[in-house]
Amino acid sequence: MRVDVLGVGFDNLTLEEAAERGMELLRAEGPHYVVTPNPEIVEVCRENPAAREAVNGAALVLPDGIGIIKGAAMLGTPLKERVPGIEFAARLLERMAGEGMSLYLLGAKPGVAETAAERLREQYPGLRIAGVHDGYFQEDAPIVEDIRRSGADTVFVCLGAPKQELWMAKNGPDTGARLLCGLGGSMDVFAGTVKRAPKFWCEHGLEWFYRLCGDPRRLGRMMRLPLFLIHVKRERRKK
Ligand code: UDP
């Protein structure tokens, strides 16, 4: 049973429940993929049916962003809590490390995935890094083959939305991995090239504002946020 927010169905889970579910998917026959849409991505899905299909086709759809939580509540179908992709990833890595599982890192600018791999290895002893590749490639086939050869259990796909969702839907089965997670800018955070907002900002639902201050080029994309709220209000009136 998913909670519909403007055509995207969200799983109603806490962060811990989502991580547990991720592990269940990892133990089951694959492939499965996880997406973490924010309001901006929901707006992209409204305009792009292929993106919407890829997002809704995921085994887990997690609400990344306070806007989704507010939108779901306004529609009278509240979600339990915000499940930021990066926190989901951290919980999953703890569990994977405990079981000696392996991870392939795909995405971000050249060199970033390597740095992320080094840091994650230190942070999660027991975690095996199966391979890395940057996110600026022309053809899918060599990457898919590299992942397959690596034997990775999980792949973090950080290509930005909706590119990563489309990539996972299309290529997931051929990678041989059991779980793929679309995590946007998380690779930069793992590598330490981008800092997460301090706790205060996150707790007050202002992470988006912190990120905007650090990278004003995000403003154009963020104009989709007020649009999202307008669409939620319109939808609420229809109910
Ligand atoms: N990216 C990539 N290949 C591309 C386009 C983007 O690897 O063709 C990477 C980019 O370098 C960045 C991430 O995808 O690391 C997208 O980050 P963004 O902050 O846009 O994602 P968000 O977390 O906001 O979805």
Model confidence over 161-183: pLDDT tens digits? 999 999 999 999 999 999 999 99
Determine phi and psi for 108, rounding to 5 degrees: 75, 180
The Å distance, Cα 1 to ligand 1 centre, comes to 30
Sorted by sequence, the CB contacts under 8 Å of residue 207 that are 6+ apart come out as 66, 84, 196, 197, 201
In short, whether 37's Cβ falls inside 6 Å of ligand 1 is: no
> Which of 30-34, 88-92, 97-101, 203-207 bottoms out in mean pLDDT, i.e. has the lowest?
203-207
Sorted by sequence, the CB contacts under 8 Å of residue 17 that are 6+ apart come out as 80
CA 73 to chain CA mean position, Å: 22
Give pLDDT tens digits for 100-114: 999 999 999 999 999
Between 202 and 231, residue with greater pLDDT: 231
In short, whether 116's Cβ falls inside 6 Å of ligand 1 is: no
In short, whether 19's Cβ falls inside 6 Å of ligand 1 is: no
User: DSSP code of 76?
Assistant: T
Q: What is the CA radius of gyration of the chain?
A: 17
Determine which residue's CA is closest to atom 22 belonging to ligand 1: 184
In short, whether 108's Cβ falls inside 6 Å of ligand 1 is: yes
b/e code 117-127 from CB counts within 10 Å (16+ = b): beebeeebeeb
Q: Residue 90 — pLDDT band, cuts 50, 70, 90? A: very high
> Which of 44-48, 67-71, 113-117, 199-203 bottoms out in mean pLDDT, i.e. has the lowest?
199-203
**Does residue 2 surpass a pLDDT of 90?**
yes
